[in-house]
Chains A and B, each alone.
Chain A
Amino acid sequence: MINNLKILLHQRKQYLPDVTTVEVPGIFRGLPVISQEMIAEEKLEDCCPTGALSTLPVQIDLGKCTFCGECALRYPSKIKFTKEYKIATNSRERLIVKEGLKKPIHLDPALIRKEIGKYFSGSLKLRQVSAGGDGSCELELGACGNVNFDMGRFGIEFVASPRHADGLVITGPITQNMAEPLQICYDAIPDPKIIILAGTDAISGGIFADSPAVDRSFLDTHTIDLYVPGNPIHPLTFINGVLDLIRNRKEKK
């Protein structure tokens, strides 16, 4: 007993008091900024593994970006990744970062369905389905609930059964072999329900986009409520994105 108390004492407080403003350590690659400097653009696209980088004008699609930083390494004066982790949004269009425009990424309030704020603002239970995810986004989604990030304090939790869930969090490019279980899981969640795509693989297929072993037809017939970019996602990107979605936080100027 004494030992247990000692451990608690030694561990002190581990939670991040404010997950919306905390600064992440190190050189985290979040929101990129693209300058208007002129460079040989034909070589630029070549350094991107997933075709996230395109030219005329230069832009990066964060839904395809693996955040490997290769472009920033090759063209440091053209592309920089900032530590801004709030890059989740509900509009696929808003994930595209354009040359010269230094603008934060927010949710589009017009796209948030009415019932989301009404039912889920105080409590949101999510069912996670890995459909070809490599395990890294899954690790980070798990970390969202640990004592550091403590997502549970906002009433957001992962649950074991789709019957208890208000929504689905998909990771991975959606393999053929997972297409049916994913659909069954979605159908088992009671209405109203939301869908969140977590990670580059889920949003665009990432490096697996043109693999013959994936089947992304599920996404053709369902509305996506939140895109969380990253490879893997950062817990803070996920938590902030979900909070913005359910609490309908206003766009900050």
Chain B
Amino acid sequence: MKSISIKNNEHIALDSIPILDYQTFSDVNTALLQKENHHCVNYYGFLYLGKVKLICCIADDLNNNILVSSTLADAKQTLPSLSRQCLAFEKFERELHENFGIQFEGHPWLKPVRYAFNKNDKNSSIRNYPFFKIESEELHEVGVGPIHAGIIEPGHFRFICNGEQILHLEIQLGFQHRGIESLFLQKEKLIQRHTLAENIAGDSAVGHTTAFANLWETLCRHEADAALHFNRTLALELERIAIHTGDLSGMCTDVAYQLGSAVFGRLRTPIINFFQQWCGNRIAKSLIRAGYNPFPFTPELAEKLLQVLASFETDFEEICHETFCAPTVLGRFEKTGIVTHEQATSIGLVGMAARMTNINRDIRASHPYNFYPSLSHTPILKHHGDVYSRAQIKREEVKQSIRYIRTLLMDMPIENLDRKPLPNPLPNTFAISLVEGWRGEICHCAITDDKGRLMHYKIKDPSFHNWLALGLAVRNNEISDFPISNKSFNLSYAGHDL
């Protein structure tokens, strides 16, 4: 057996993951990635009995399972790079290099990922990041950040331009690194871990907390009741509506379309205010909890939500129609920031960014969890891979989410008033949880020790894969089109830097 096949939210004994020699490990996983229905959801390492244990999780979207394999390496060892065959491993290998000093031979450039506090090379500093450079009299560099002009998180963008045209963009991240994976082990109370999960990426509080809650219940062999599944599914779709609407506002701002900017901006308000009515927080922090339900969804809330959605939908459709017909908007959206299907496949894009290039990749459909099996989700796909495709996906996904919410509300489960506290997590166990947040797939993996305590916790935000897509999208664009490309992806800095 070269890998073990598991389902989303399934636990297995840690020692049931096959340990391969590196050559076999490399062959197996690179061979799997040759098919488009396979993609790497996580590849990471942790210290285990004096070695670095590398675990690779490849999702098979056609057969709804995840193929997990492992190998053992030494810190600072030199190994042949998997990126030579599959570029999708590129970022994961950089992370392994940064954390453990493993040298991957043949990797394009083992640059630091986030300058983690526990990095292997203590002498490296975020101040002297090795940027790609081109020596030429005709070209110039533009540096932006880490602090940006707007109210957003920090990251540094370095453009190499020929006049107004971008030849190359390099994105340096890590400024937001808070050591969150280590804190998952350090903070032992469940409420603390919930708080950490909520703070991984503030715009995906529901997504990440759902991934954590599903994972934790899996580790505790706890079958969540229908009301818990219902809440998580409902909250995920509401979060999708809120953020997509806000993004459309931001995209209108970036092309100076004031009406769209103001109307989409204000349309986000009733949705996040509904979160406040439900759980007391506009970002839905404190709503999702493993094993219990602090804010049960009531028929009164359902009625309120239907009203909110009814007036939202009319206004949303009206402004969408106007925006998507306005020449001033279309002129800037169409054929801007293109990522091709080939690029997207090779770098392993996920979520909305994959679907805009016609890759059918959506965890809600391929590895359904919570209430998604009953919704039979059909992903919305586009073909052009440009800003316009991303805007269209946002528009159509908002409408799809509204439909799903109406379906969910037709058959609400009754709140379970007899929940028992969760049992302790299983010892020596590996578990994985995938959630399709609004941005794309969120992956959390946990490993417990022989006493059932967390031994390792790994978080992967969709931004981890997708930042590279932004760099590719803006090549040969005018530099003035960068903001609109950036906003159309709306990637997370905190979720990447952890």
Contact B285 A73 (CB under 8 A): no
Contact A10 B203 (CB under 8 A): no
Contact B276 A146 (CB under 8 A): no
Q: Chain A 70-105 against B: per-residue CB contact (8 Å), 1 yes, 0 no?
A: 100100000001000000000000000000000000
Q: Chain B 262-300 against A: per-residue CB contact (8 Å), 1 yes, 0 no?
A: 110110010001101111111101100000001000000
Contact A146 B189 (CB under 8 A): no
Q: Say if the beta carbon of A57 comes within 8 Å of chain B.
A: no
Q: Which of A117-125, A175-183, A217-225 contacts B (4 or more CB under 8 A)?
A: A175-183
User: In the complex, A146 Cα to B272 Cα: how many Å?
Assistant: 14
- Whether A207 contacts B265 in the complex (CB less than 8 A), given A139-B283, A185-B147, comes out as no
With beta carbons under 8 angstroms apart, the residue of B175, B246, B315, B322 that contacts A178 is: B175
Contact B273 A25 (CB under 8 A): yes
B177 contacts across to A, CB distance below 8 A: 132, 175-177, 213
Contact B322 A175 (CB under 8 A): no
Q: Say if the beta carbon of B191 comes within 8 Å of chain A.
A: yes
Q: Say if the beta carbon of B58 comes within 8 Å of chain A.
A: no
With beta carbons under 8 angstroms apart, the residue of B175, B183, B200, B280 that contacts A211 is: B183
Contact B492 A135 (CB under 8 A): yes
- Whether A46 contacts B286 in the complex (CB less than 8 A), given A160-B150, A177-B126, comes out as no
Q: Which of A36-44, A61-69, A239-247 contacts B (4 or more CB under 8 A)?
A: A61-69
Shortest A30–chain B CB gap in Å is 9
B318 contacts across to A, CB distance below 8 A: 6-7, 10
User: In the complex, A240 Cα to B154 Cα: how many Å?
Assistant: 27
Shortest B328–chain A CB gap in Å is 12
B281 contacts across to A, CB distance below 8 A: 28-29, 67, 231
A135 contacts across to B, CB distance below 8 A: 152-153, 201-203, 492-494
With beta carbons under 8 angstroms apart, the residue of B182, B199, B259, B262 that contacts A134 is: B199
Beyond A147-B265, A208-B179: 7 further Cβ-contacts under 8 Å?
Answer: A8-B259, A10-B318, A49-B191, A160-B149, A181-B147, A212-B118, A213-B178
Name the 8 nearest CB pairs between A and B, nearest first.
A136-B202, A26-B277, A213-B179, A160-B149, A135-B202, A134-B202, A213-B117, A49-B195
Residues on A lying within 8 angstroms of B by beta carbon are 3-4, 6-8, 10-11, 14, 24-29, 46-50, 66-70, 73, 81, 128-143, 146-148, 158, 160-161, 172-173, 175-178, 180-181, 185, 201, 206-208, 210-214, 231-232, 234
